[in-house]
Amino acid sequence: MRLEAQNNWTITGRVLEEGSGEAMAAANVSLYSTDSTLIVGVSTDADGIFSLKTTRGGDCFMSVTSMGYAQQRFDFALSNDNRNIIHTDILLRLSDVELSEVEVVARRRPMIYKLDRKVIEASGYISASGGTAIDILEQTPSMRVSADGELTFRGSSGFKVYIDGKPSMTDGSDALRQIPAGQIENIEIISAPSARNEADGIAGIINVNTKKQSNNGWSGMVNAMASTVESRNIDFLTSYKNNKLRWQTSGETSRRYLVSDFDQWKHIDVNDTLTTTHAVGERKSFVDMYALRSALDLLREKTTWSAALESRYRIRNRGGRLHYDDSFRSNATGEESTVSYDGHDYVRLHDLTLRGDVGFEHRFTNDGHKLSGSFFAFYEHDAMEFFYTDLFDAQGNRAQGHRAWEHEYRLTAQGNLDYVLPLNNKNGRFEAGYYFFTYTEDGDYTIDFYNPAQGAFERRDDLYNRFVFRRDIHALYSMLSHTYAKFGYQIGLRGEFIHRTLENNVAWAQHVWDKFDLFPSAHLSYSLNENNRLNLGYSRRITQPQLFYMEPYVVYVDYYTAQCGNPRIRPEYTNSIELTWNRTMGEHSAAATLFHRRRTDKIERVRVPYHTGVTLDSMANVGNDYSTGAELAATLQIAKWWNTDVNGNLFYYTIDNEYKVDDAKSLNWQLALNHNFDIGKNTRMRLEGYFVGPSVSTQGRVDEFFYLNFTIRRLMFDRCLSAALNVRDVLSTAKYVDTKTGVDLDSKTRIYPRSPLFTLSLSYTFNNFKSQRGEGKTNHDLFEGTNR
C-alpha cells in the first residue's frame, strides 16, 4: 500500500556500538521500499543521531550499516496514524568472522573508517600483548618506527597523543610507549583533524581509547611480560560500575630494554685536520615506569561528572661501551697519527609527575544538544637529567670526560568549553568552543670537563645556563556540519593566539614571540552504497617547537657527538589533503587513501663539524618538504582457519632546503603481510612479515630492511587466561644503516639489534573484561643508538 505524497513522515533515532555504548558517527541509515528501491538515506552525526524525512508512505524497511559492523534492518509501515517514528537506541554489532570449524568467535575488523578518522581495533592485532600502543600502531599503513624508537606517520613524528580524548602528559612516541597494549580498546588516527581539535601536531592526532566497563559489577585484568633482553612488565586494570557511577583504577610497573650492536664511521675535516673515527660496541637503553591512575564518573540523567588522579615516576637510561680508533691527517703537511680509546657514556633522566582532571557533560536534550567542559593540570617535580662521557686510554687511564646536570620543574594546565547545537531536525549541527593552554618550565644546566693535567673534573661556569620558558595559547573555534541523503559535510575554522617567552642568562637566546594564526578544516563524505564510502578531508596544522629544540647549551651524547638547541627555531606549518575509499565485501574489507602534504619551515636535526673528531647536532628550519602517495589496507578471510591482513604505502617524498648536498628525493614504501592461523579450539598462530623501504632526510638516507616475527598463543581456563610466545626478527635480518653527508663531514652508522628476541606474555581477565587475544610484543623498535 502506498499513501499520497502530500503527507510527511519523519524517522529519527540514535546509533550506538553494541557493548561499548559509544555513538556511531557516519553510520549509513537508508529507507527502502519493499522492492528495495532507495527512498532516502542519511549519515549519522558525531553523536550517532539521524533524521530521515520522506513524503512516500506505505510499507518499507530501514537499513542501518557501518563499515565492519553487522547490518540492522527494521520493517514498518508509514501510515497517517504514524507520522513520527522514533528509534531511541539502535545497537550495531561488530561483524562476526568464523575462525574455525570447532567454534565461532567474534573478531573485530582490525581497522574501521569514519568521517574524519580511522579506528584501529586493538584486538585485531594479536601480537601486541605485553607491549605498548606503538606495537599496535606500527602494524598500520604509513606508520614507521625508526631505529631509536621514534614513531613516524607519513615521514613525520609531529603528532599529538590523546588518551580517552584528553592530552597525554608527554608527546609523541614517548607518550605511546607509556600505554600498556593490554589496556587499549582502540586507537583513533586523525590525520586531518577538524577545527575542534588543537592545531599543534602537523601529522595529526593519535587518540588512544582505553577499555571501559559497560555492564554493572566488577571487572578486571592483569597482564605480565618478560623477554630475553630482560624486559619485563606487570600492569592491571580494575573497574566497578552501577547505574550511578563508574570507578576505574589502573597501574603499571615495567622495565623495557633496547640492546643493539653499534658500528659507525665518521670523517670530519675541521681546523685543517681530517679526522676519521671508527666506533664499535654495544648500546643499551631501558625505561623504568611506575604509574597509578584512578578515575570516577558520576552518571546522572542529564549530566555526567568526571574526575581523575594520576601519579607517575619514570627513569630513562641510555648508554654504551664503545671502542674508538681515531686517525688524524694534517691537510697542510700530510702528517698522520692514530690513537685508540675505550669510551663509556651514560644518560639518566628521571621525573615524578602528579596530574588531576575534572570534567562534565550536560545534555539539554537527547538529540545531541549539549555543553561539555574539562580541565587538567600536571606538575613534574625535580625532573633531572644526568649525562656523563669518559674516554680511557690503552692503560685504562681516563683521558677525557664530561659530567652534566639539568634540573627542571614543569607545570602544564589546559581547559576547554564546547557547545553543540543540533540544526535542521537533527540533520545538521553547529559547534563552538574555547580552549586555553599554558606550559612553564624552570631549570638550569651545569657541566664539568675533565682536566687531564689536574686529573680531576672542573666546573665550567662560563657554560652555566639558567632558563625559564613559557608558552600560552588561547583559541576559539566554530564548526558547521550537515547530511543530505548520501552526502555529508563538515567545515570549521579555528583561531589561535600564541605567546612564547624564553628568559635566559645568555642574552642572545632571550626572546618573546607572539603570533595569531587561522586553521581551517573541511571534510566531505559520500556513500556510494551501503558498502562503499568516499571521504575527503583537508586540514591546516602547526608544530610548536618544544623547549629542548631551543636550549642554547651543548650536551654530549657520547664524547664524539654533541647536541645543542636553537632558540630562534620557528614553528612548522603544514597543509594536508586526503581522499579515502573503503568497502566491505562480506568477510573481506579493503580501503585505499590518496594523500598530499606540504610542510613549510620543516624542523630537523642537522649535523655539522664542531671540533676535531666531534660533530654537533642542532635543530634548524631546513626548508620545505612534500609528500604525495597512497595507502592500501585489506583484510581477507582466506579460509575458516586462515585470515590475512595486508597493508602498505607508497609515497614520493622530496625536501627543498639549503642543507642538502645530494638530491633529497625518494620513493618511500612499506609493506606488512600478516597471517593468522587458528589451530584447534584455543590456539592461534601469527606470522608477520615487514618490508621497510629506504627513506631520505635533509643530509642523507636510511637503507631498506626486512624482518619476520612469529607468535603462538593459547587460551585456557574458559578464555580467562592467555599465554603467548613471540619471536621477533626470527631470521636476524633487521638492520639500520644511516648515511649522512654535509659540508666537511660524512658518517655511516650501522645498528644491529640483538635477535632473535623471545618474549613471553600472560594475561588474565575476569567478569566483563574479555581477553584481548593479543600475544607477544612486536615492533620496528629494534635498534638503540641512532642519534650517534
- Give the integer Cα–Cα distance in Å for 290 and 36: 58
Rounded Cα distance, 650 and 19, in Å: 37
Question: Is cis: bond before 756, omega within 30 of 0?
Answer: yes
Reported as a single tens digit per residue, the pLDDT across 741-777 is 877 888 899 998 888 989 999 999 887 554 333 333 3
pLDDT of 374 strictly over 60 = yes
pLDDT for 465: 94
Q: Given a cut of 60, is residue 341 above it in pLDDT?
A: yes
| Beta bridge pairs of residue 8 | none
> Does the pLDDT of residue 502 top 80, yes or no?
yes
* Type of residue numbered 604: E
Q: Write the burial class of residue 269 (CB in 10 Å: 0-12 exposed, 13-18 middle, 19+ buried).
A: middle
Mean pLDDT score of the chain: 84
Highest average pLDDT, of 65-69, 187-191, 430-434, 722-726, comes from 430-434
In this prediction, residues 328-350 reach a mean pLDDT of 91
Please check the confidence at residue 120 and state whether its pLDDT lies above 90. Answer: no
pLDDT at 105 over 60: no
| pLDDT exceeds 80 at position 117 | no
Q: What is the largest CA-CA distance in the chain?
A: 104
Q: What is the distance, to the nearest Å, from the Cα of residue 705 to the centroid of all Cα atoms in its chain?
A: 22
Q: Is the pLDDT of residue 585 over 80?
A: no
The model's confidence at residue 493, banded by pLDDT at 50, 70 and 90, is very high
How far is the C-alpha of 179 from the C-alpha of 122, rounded, in Å? 12
Return the pLDDT at 694.
Answer: 85
Whole-number pLDDT of residue 771:
38
Q: What is the predicted pLDDT for the residue at 91? A: 85
For residue 780, pLDDT beyond 50: no
CA 522 to chain centre: 22
390: pLDDT confidence band, cut at 50, 70 and 90? very high
- Banded pLDDT at 23 (limits 50, 70, 90): confident
Residue 186's φ and ψ, nearest 5 degrees, are: -160, 170
- Coil/strand/helix, residue 754: coil
Most confident of the following: 34-43, 411-420, 669-678: 411-420
786, pLDDT greater than 60: no
Percent of the chain with pLDDT over 90: 36
Alpha helices for 97-208 (secondary structure H): 133-137, 172-176
Position with higher pLDDT, 639 vs 177 = 639
Closest of 342, 332, 291 to residue 314, by C-alpha: 291
pLDDT band at 356 (very low <50, low <70, confident <90, very high): very high
CA distance 97 to 589: 12
pLDDT for the residue numbered 323: 94
Helix (H) or strand (E) holding 674: strand 665-679
CA distances 269 to 331, 332, 617, 623, 738, Å, are 9, 12, 16, 25, 20
3 state SS of 313 = strand
Q: For the residues 306-323, what does the mean pLDDT come to?
A: 93
Pick from 100, 149, 85, 147: nearest CA to 137: 149
State yes or no: pLDDT of 108 exceeds 60.
Answer: no
What residue ranges in 364-427 does DSSP mark as E strands? 370-392, 398-423
Exposed/middle/buried for 70, CB within 10 Å: 0-12, 13-18, 19+? middle
Q: Residue range 391-399: average pLDDT?
A: 92
**pLDDT tens per residue across span 664-687:** 778 888 888 989 899 988 898 989
Q: What is the DSSP pairing of strand 84-92 with strand 9-17?
A: parallel
Q: Which residues, 6+ apart, have CB-to-CB distance to 747 below 8 Å? A: 264, 265, 266, 267, 607, 615, 739, 740
Q: What is the average pLDDT across 315-324?
A: 92
> Worst-scoring range by mean pLDDT, 8-17, 285-294, 507-516?
8-17
Which of 58, 64, 18 minimizes the C-alpha distance to 35? 58
Q: What pLDDT score does 530 carry? A: 67
Q: Is the pLDDT of residue 103 over 70?
A: no
Task: Report the pLDDT averaged over residues 699-707.
Answer: 85
Question: Quick one: pLDDT at residue 4?
Answer: 44
What is the reported pLDDT for 574? Answer: 92
Q: Is 689 or 97 the better-scoring residue by pLDDT?
A: 689
pLDDT reported for residue 517? 96
Close Cβ partners of 129 (under 8 Å, ≥ 6 residues apart): 181, 182, 223, 225, 722, 724, 761, 763, 772, 774, 775, 776, 777
